Structure 1
Amino acid sequence: MIALGCDHGGFNLISAIKKHFDEQGIAYKDFGTYSEDSVDYPVYACKVANAVVGGECELGILCCGTGIGISMAANKIKGVRAAVVSNDFGAEMTRRHNHANILCMGGRVTSVEDALRYTDIFLNTPEEGGRHDKRVAMLTELDNGITSFD
C-alpha cells in the first residue's frame, strides 16, 4: 500500500495520482488534505512518514507547492528518506541508489503528466545494493545521531 499526502499546493497532483492508482489497481491510503483550502504541510508529511516508517504503508508520495517544504518535514521523521524529484533520472536513482521511501513533488512546478511518470518510475524501480548499501547505512547512522564520519 502506498501512503499519499499533500497540502493545498499539491492537491491537484495527489488527485491525479489517486485517479491513476484507481485505474491501475494500486492500493493506497489517503492521509489528506482533501481540498485546496490552505493547510500546514508538516501535518500531512508527518502522517505519511509515520505510516511508511511504521510499516502501515510500503512507500509514500507527498506533494506541496514545490515538494521542498513537505520533503523537509518528512525527513525530520527518523527512518524517512524523502526526495524531491524533477526528472525521470532523479525518480529512478532516488530509489535505485538512495533507497528513498517517499517521493515528493510540487504541484506548482510539476505537470500532472510528469508527476504520473515520476510516480510510475519511483514505484517500479528496485533498490540496488552493493556500494549503495554502505551509503544508505550511513544515512541511518545520521538518523541515529552521528554528526560526523571522521
Structure 2
Amino acid sequence: MIELHFQMLSTKLFEIKYKNLKDKYAFRIGDVFVENVSDQRKKLTKSLTALKSDSLSNASAMTICLNYLDYKTTSSIQSMVVNLLALKDEQKYSVESIDLKTKNGGTVTLTITRSKTNNQPLPVILTNNIYAGSYDKSFGKKSRSLQLYRSSSEHAWKANKL
C-alpha cells in the first residue's frame, strides 16, 4: 500500500517537474538515470570495506553516506523514472530506424528523430559514429530540442525587431 502511494505521488511530482522543464533541458534527464545499480552497490561496499578501524574521518563518513544515498535512491526510483521518461519520449518524439546494406555486406543504421508537434520541414543534422546505441536516441532528442529552441528564439527575435 505504501509503495503504491509512493509511486503515485512520485509520478505526479515527475509530471509537474517535467512540464516545467524547457525542451532544451528535458532531453538530458535520461542520462542521469542510466547509472548501473550494481555499480552503486559496489561503490558502497568498497567504501565500507576500506575502513581499517572502528573510527571514521569526516571524509570517510561523508563518502559512505553519499554512496549509501546514491545506492538507495537509484535502486528505488530508477526503473520508475526510466519508464516515465520513455512514455514522455513516446509522446514527444517520433523515432524511426532504417537499416541499409552496403555493397560490401556491412550495415548502416539511420535513425530519424522528429518532434511530434512540428510538421514543417526543418534542417537535418547528419552525424556518424561507430558505436550505435542509446547515444543515438539521446543525440536525436538533443538536436530536435535545440532546433525547436532555436526556432522559437528566432521567431521571438524577429518579432522584437518588427
Answer yes or no: same fold by TM over 0.5. no
Higher Rg of the two aligned structures: 2
TM-score (norm 2): 0.26
TM-score (norm 1): 0.28
Which structure carries more helix by proportion?
Answer: 2
